[in-house]
Amino acid sequence: MTMQLGIFAKTFDRETIDENVDAVKQAGLDCVQYNLVCAGLSKLPRSLDPAVCSRIRESHASRGISMPAISATFNILDADQDRLAENLERLRVLAESADALGTRMMTLCTGSRDQENMWRHHPENDTASAWQDMMSSMRKILVIAEGAGVDVGVEPEINNVVSSAQKAHRMLEELASTRVKIVIDGANLITADNIESMSDVLLPSVELLRKNIAIAHAKDVRIEHGKVIHVAPGQGQLDYESYLEALVGGGFDGPLVMHGLTEAEVPESVDYVKTCLVKVTGSTSS
Identify whether 286 is part of a domain: no
Of 221, 272, 277, the C-alpha closest to 244 is 277
Domain of residue 75, CATH code: 3.20.20.150
Q: How many domains in the chain? A: 1
Q: Output DSSP code: residue 104.
A: S
Dump pLDDT digits (tens) for 223-266: 999 899 999 999 999 999 999 999 999 999 999 999 999 999 99
Domain range enclosing 228: 4-281
pLDDT band for position 121 (cuts 50, 70, 90): confident
Identify whether 10 is part of a domain: yes
pLDDT band for position 120 (cuts 50, 70, 90): confident
Tell me the C-alpha to C-alpha distance, in Å, between residue 37 and each of 30, 64, 70, 85, 97. 20, 21, 11, 21, 15
Q: How far apart are CA 279 and CA 286, in angstroms?
A: 15
Burial class (CB in 10 A: 0-12, 13-18, 19+), 50: exposed
Q: How far apart are CA 4 and CA 173, in angstroms?
A: 28
Identify whether 9 is part of a domain: yes
Identify whether 126 is part of a domain: yes
Q: How far apart are CA 182 and CA 157, in angstroms?
A: 11
Q: Is 111 in contact with 75 (CB distance < 8 Å)?
A: yes
Identify whether 261 is part of a domain: yes
Tell me, what's the pLDDT at 284?
61
Tell me, what's the pLDDT at 285?
60
